[in-house]
Amino acid sequence: MPQQPDRKKTITFWIVFLVIFGIMNVMIYKRFIQKEVNEVGYNFFMKLIDEKKISEAALSSTQIVFKDKEGNIYKTGLMEDAALYERLYKSGAEFGAEIETPMNPILYYFLTFGIQILLLIILWRFMFKRIAKRSGDDPDMMSFSLGGGRGKGTGRIYVKSKNDVRFKDVAGEEEAKELLSEIVNYLHEPEKYTEIGATLPKGALLVGPPGTGKTMLAKAVAGEAEVPFFSISGSEFVQMFVGMGAAKVRDLFKQAKEKAPCIIFIDEIDAIGKKRDASLTTNDEREQTLNQLLSEMDGFEGNTGVVILAATNRPESLDPALLRPGRFDRRIPVELPDLKGRIDILKVHAKKIRISENVDFDTIAKTASGASGAQLANIVNEAALRAVREGRKVVQQDDMMESVEVVIAGYQKKNKILTNKEKLVVSYHEVGHALVAAMQTQSAPVTKITIIPRTSGALGYTMQVDEDERNLMTKTEILNKVSTLAGGRAAEELIFNEITTGASNDIEQATKLARAMVTRFGMSEEFDMVAMEVVTNQYLGGDTSLACAPETQTKIDRMVVEIVKTQHEKAKEILQQNLQKLHEIAKHLYENETITGEEFMEILNSSENTLLTNPEV
């Protein structure tokens, strides 16, 4: 274990320091105390009594300690003197009490300041370890220095510990684990690959959205490989002083070569690996750092056993020279998990809590469609917290389902009070969504409708969950989705002859879908299969930018408006044809605030006719 020698050195240092400190303290104590209490003869004591210069005197069975009126302290041996007390009394001295001798100044400062400082240091170290564990940092990571002088930075070198992350602890990314396992095998048994002439990949780039487990995979590689693992963030290379970042890169690779075989992990590599262009001068610090990184990756001798792992969620911003074969040989996608992956991730995190045996992970995974690994971990933790709040010792299915809604829509705002009119409007709005979705053949089934406000700002929402995992959407499905989004506003228009601001998010999503049909999916007859829009930052929200002439943009706007308008009219027609059911379901929702998908379908398929009457309608 590389960490043990450092611990021994630290302990030895503190022992030596305390011994030297104690010896010096004793020497200083003797020096100060012995000089302050002066030993004199009994005749000197008698002389001061006669001159009435003694202020205090303390008599014991063997000696007399006395203080003159100037504050000096003396001591002398005790002689047989029957008239001693009378002479002391006549001289005006106080006697019989113990005289306080001055404390050693060094000891005084040590007791008043030193102990407190030591306690603060101990407390700080204890708190640092606690914070490191809570934040996910491994306390079994040692620091290593990169660069010297100004701009000195610190990274971490991973050492084996009891809490190693292994591939079995990372679920939902089987393809990524398979590709990384080959690197681990190469580090364990390089001769199997060199016999056939294969060379070790110099670098692997982990690419994917935030929260998908890129850093966790890198830790798992370290745990499986059991080789030195250097971990550093790309931002730590960026310095104000020109040349410091390049020096850090040189230092990092120098240490890595000395400890080969080993792994270097650079998180958020886009901080130093952005594309070089004309806006960067030759003296730019980031460009110099990138050039040094490219040089070091090229300078590896064959089969040195140094592998670079890097993570980013902005691969399109990286310099092409960094991505070419021979530097980052492999690009490993770490995507959002599919249905099976979500189930596996939920089960991995569920092992850390006490959970009921009847929890259906399949249903939870379907409800949490599109969630990342980090969000799924948060869902499990929120379920455990809810169980504690409810006074239960085991997490149940209801806790898990509610935690999904907490992560998606936020916590319930129990103190948010809606007026009867607002509650009525929201009821019809949400039922409008659900009814339009239910009356279309290629729409996901409704699983829940609620009008309980959430911290995300939603006054209510309608949840739809597909029975199976969907990877493709047809044109009909997208149009049906736009109709469903327009269902809330259509219900308001039909029932209240008025519209509200409650449809703002629906309008935004419907417009986005309609525009994507025209500009990206090639679903318009006029433009056919021509892309009019380019997606940027694919893993960070998918921002888009139009790539067409202004005249074409005008046409696109007209087509988008026409699509949304047509589906809005379709939604109103569906609701008009099922107006009785709209009233029935809205009445039930108004009274109960939340209804399940089964209750919704039961009312929809029933033959009873019940109108929701309210004086404010």
Contact status, residue 393 vs residue 354, Cβ threshold 8 Å: yes
What are the distances in angstroms from CA 540 to CA 275, 338, 517, 536, 590? 18, 19, 21, 9, 38
Q: Distance between CA 368 and CA 363 in Å, rounded?
A: 9
Specify the residue for token string 């929702």: 589
Q: Quote the CA–CA distance of 460 and 547 in Å, as a whole number.
A: 37
Strands 229-233 and 203-207: unpaired
Question: Is 390 among the residues known to form the active site?
Answer: no
- Tell me, letter by letter, the H, E, C secondary structure of 6-34: HHHHHHHHHHHHHHHHHHHHHHHHHHHHH
Alpha-carbon torsion (174, 176, 177, 182), positive or negative: positive
Residue 615: strand, helix, or coil: coil
DSSP E strand boundaries for 89-168: 94-95, 141-146, 153-158
CB atoms within 10 A of CB 113: 10
Nearest to 99 by CA among 62, 122, 68, 136: 68
Instruction: Report DSSP state, residue 443.
Output: S
Q: Cα–Cα distance between 324 and 297 in angstroms, integer?
A: 11
131: left (phi over 0), alpha (psi -120 to 50) or beta: alpha
CA separation for the pair 119, 346 (Å, rounded): 42
* Marked catalytic residue, from 224, 287, 430, 492: 430
* Strands (DSSP E) found in 41-172: 54-59, 63-68, 73-77, 94-95, 141-146, 153-158
Cα-based angle 596, 376, 464 (whole degrees, multiple of 5): 30
Are 227 and 263 in contact, with CB atoms under 8 Å apart?
yes
Are 249 and 289 within 8 A, CB to CB? yes
Coil vs helix vs strand at 77: strand
Query: Active-site positions?
Result: 430
